[in-house]
C-alpha cells in the first residue's frame, strides 16, 4: 500500500515510539536505495530526520532494523537486517488484512462522503 | 478501543481531511457530554480546536456529523446526527476488525520488541 492508501495504520506498543506509514516507507526506500541519506533525499526528508527515524526504529526493537556503515563517497551504505525485513513485511501484511477486513465499513463511510467539488 | 489501542487507524478519502482516533474520540465525548465546548474541555482541547475539528468533520461528509445550537448559559448544546452515529460506529467496527485480522502480525511484531527498561 502507498501513501494514497485509504487506511493508515499506526502501531503503538506500550509507550514506545510509534510505527506507521512514514517509517514503513522509509524502510522500503532504504532497502531500494541502499543508503539512509539517499533514501531521505528521495523522500524529501532532511539527512538528520531520516537518521533520527532510523535510530528510533532501531531503538524500539530488540535488534536494529537498519544496518549502516558511515563514510565513503556517498556517505556509507545501509541495508535492512532480517528484523527490518520481518517488521516491514508484518506491517504491510497487517495493512492488507485490515483493508480486507474493513471493506464493508469503508463502503459505508464512502457512501456518506459529500461531493467536495460541489461545495467550493 | 481507546487511545491505548495498539493499532490506530487513520482514514484518508481522496484528499479530504483525515478521520482518525482523535476525531472519533471527540464524537464520543460530544455524544456523552451534549456539548462541543464541554467535550473539548474534557479532552484538554481548546474551544477553538474542538469547534474546528467538528467543522472539518461536518464538511467532509454529505451530512453534518454534529448538530449544535449556540448560546445559552453553557454555550449551547450539541448532539450527533444519524450520520455521526453511523460514521462513529463504522470507524469503531473497522478498528475492531483490523485488530482481529492482524492478531498474527501483531504477535510477530511484539515478539521483536526489545526490553526498553534494560536500555536505560
Q: Per-residue pLDDT tens, chain A, 120 aa: give them.
A: 445 578 999 999 988 899 999 999 999 999 999 999 999 999 999 989 999 999 999 999 999 999 998 765 556 799 999 999 999 999 999 999 999 999 999 999 999 997 766 554
Please give the mean pLDDT across all residues of chain B.
89
Output b/e per residue, B27-65; b: 16+ Cβ within 10 A: bebbbebbbbbbbbeebebeeeebbebbeebbebbeebb
Pairing of strands B7-11, A7-11: antiparallel
B81 within a domain of the structure (yes/no): yes
Give the CATH number for residue A40.
1.10.10.10
pLDDT, position A5: 77
Most A CBs within 10 A among B114, B115, B118, B119, hence the mutation to make, goes to: B114
Q: Mean of the pLDDT values across residues B61-75?
A: 81
C-alpha span between A84 and B2 (Å, rounded): 28
ipTM computed for the complex: 0.86
A12 within a domain of the structure (yes/no): no
C-alpha span between A57 and B53 (Å, rounded): 31
pLDDT, position B40: 94
- State pLDDT tens for residues B9-49: 999 998 889 999 999 999 999 999 999 999 999 999 998 99
Q: Is the pLDDT of residue B120 over 50?
A: no
C-alpha cell read off for A6:
485509504
* Cβ contacts of A83 on chain B, cutoff 8 Å: 112
Q: Is A23 helix (H, G, I), strand (E, B) or coil?
A: helix
B57 within a domain of the structure (yes/no): yes
Most A CBs within 10 A among B3, B61, B112, B117, hence the mutation to make, goes to: B112
Determine, for residues A112 and B59 on separate chains, whether the beta-carbon distance falls below 8 Å.
no
3-class SS letters over chain B: CCCCCCEEEEECCCCCCCECHHHHHHHHHHHHHCCHHHHHHHCCCCHHHHHHHHHHHHHHECCCCEEECCCCCCCCCEEECHHHHHHHHHHHHHHHHHHHHCHHHHHHHHHHECCHHHHC
Q: How close A67 comes to chain B (CA, Å)?
A: 16
A2 within a domain of the structure (yes/no): no
A11 within a domain of the structure (yes/no): no
C-alpha span between A58 and B7 (Å, rounded): 20
Taking alpha carbons only, the member of A43, B117, A94, A73 closest to residue A54 is A43
A79 within a domain of the structure (yes/no): yes
Q: Which of A4, A62, A93 sits opposite B113 (nearest CB)?
A: A62
B6 within a domain of the structure (yes/no): no
Q: Is the pLDDT of residue B101 over 50?
A: yes
B13 within a domain of the structure (yes/no): no
Q: Can you list the positions of beta strands (E) in chain A?
A: 7-11, 66-68, 78-80
Q: Is the pLDDT of residue B87 over 60?
A: yes
Q: Is the pLDDT of residue B118 over 70?
A: no
Chain A residues in contact with chain B using a Cβ-Cβ cutoff of 8 Å: 4-13, 15-16, 18-20, 59-63, 83, 86-87, 90-91, 93-94, 97-98, 100-102, 105-106, 108-110, 112-116, 119
C-alpha span between B57 and B21 (Å, rounded): 13
Determine, for residues B112 and A5 on separate chains, whether the beta-carbon distance falls below 8 Å.
no
* Cβ contacts of A110 on chain B, cutoff 8 Å: 13
Q: How close A86 comes to chain B (CA, Å)?
A: 8
Structural domains in chain B (count)? 1
pLDDT, position B72: 59
C-alpha span between B65 and B51 (Å, rounded): 12
Range of the domain at A37: 21-113
Amino acid at each position: 500500500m502507498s501513501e494514497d492508501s485509504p487506511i493508515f495504520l499506526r502501531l503503538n506498543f506500550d509507550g514506545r515510539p510509534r510505527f506507521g506509514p512514514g517509517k514503513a516507507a522509509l524502510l522500503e526506500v532504504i532497502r531500494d536505495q541502499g543508503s539512509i541519506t539517499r533514501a531521505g533525499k528521495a523522500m524529501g526528508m532532511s539527512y538528520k530526520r531520516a537518521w533520527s527515524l532510523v535510530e528510533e526504529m532501531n531503538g524500539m526493537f530488540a535488534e536494529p532494523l537498519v544496518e549502516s556503515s558511515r563514510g565513503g563517497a556517498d556517505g556509507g551504505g545501509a541495508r535492512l537486517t532480517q528484523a527490518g525485513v520481518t517488521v516491514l513485511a508484518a506491517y504491510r501484511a497487517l495493512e492488507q488484512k485490515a483493508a480486507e477486513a474493513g471493506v464493508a465499513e469503508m463502503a459505508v463511510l464512502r457512501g456518506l462522503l459529500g461531493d467536495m467539488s460541489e461545495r467550493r
